[in-house]
Amino acid sequence: MKKIMTILLSVATAAITFSSCSKKNDEVKPAKNYVLVHGAWQAPYVWDAVKTSLINEGNNVTVVELPGHGSDNTVPSTLTLNIYRDIVNDAVSKMNGKVILVGHSLGGMIISAVAEQNPSKIEKLVYIAAYLPASGQSLLDLANTDAGSALGTPGILTQNADGTLDVKQDQITKIFIQDGSAQVQNLVLQNYRPEPAIPFTNPVTLTVANFGSVEKIYIKTLQDYVVSPSLQDRMISAAGIKTIYQLNTSHSPFLSKPDSVAVLLTKIGE
Q: Is 180 exposed, middle or buried (0-12, 13-18, 19+ CB in 10 A)?
A: buried
Q: What confidence score (pLDDT) does residue 19 get? A: 37
Nearest to 30 by CA among 258, 235, 218, 269: 269
Q: What secondary structure letter does DSSP report for 260?
A: H
Instruction: Work out the number of other CB atoms within 10 angstroms of the CB of residue 23.
Output: 9
Q: In the chain, what are the domains?
A: 30-268 (3.40.50.1820)
Residue partners of 121: CB distance under 8 A and separation at least 6: 92, 93, 98, 99
Q: Is 134 exposed, middle or buried (0-12, 13-18, 19+ CB in 10 A)?
A: middle
Element at 219 (helix H, strand E): strand 215-221
pTM of the model: 0.89
Residue partners of 164: CB distance under 8 A and separation at least 6: 76, 194, 195, 196, 197
Strands 157-159 vs 164-167: parallel, antiparallel or unpaired: antiparallel
**What tens digit of pLDDT does each residue of 8-18 get?**
333 333 333 33
**What tens digit of pLDDT does each residue of 20-41 get?**
343 344 456 789 999 999 999 9
Q: What is the mean pLDDT of residues 84-92?
A: 98
Residue 252 and residue 258: Cα distance in Å, rounded? Answer: 9
Q: What confidence score (pLDDT) does residue 27 get? A: 58
Element at 36 (helix H, strand E): strand 33-37
- Residue percentage of the chain with pLDDT more than 90: 89
- Torsion on CA atoms 122, 100, 40, 137, rounded to nearest 10: 40
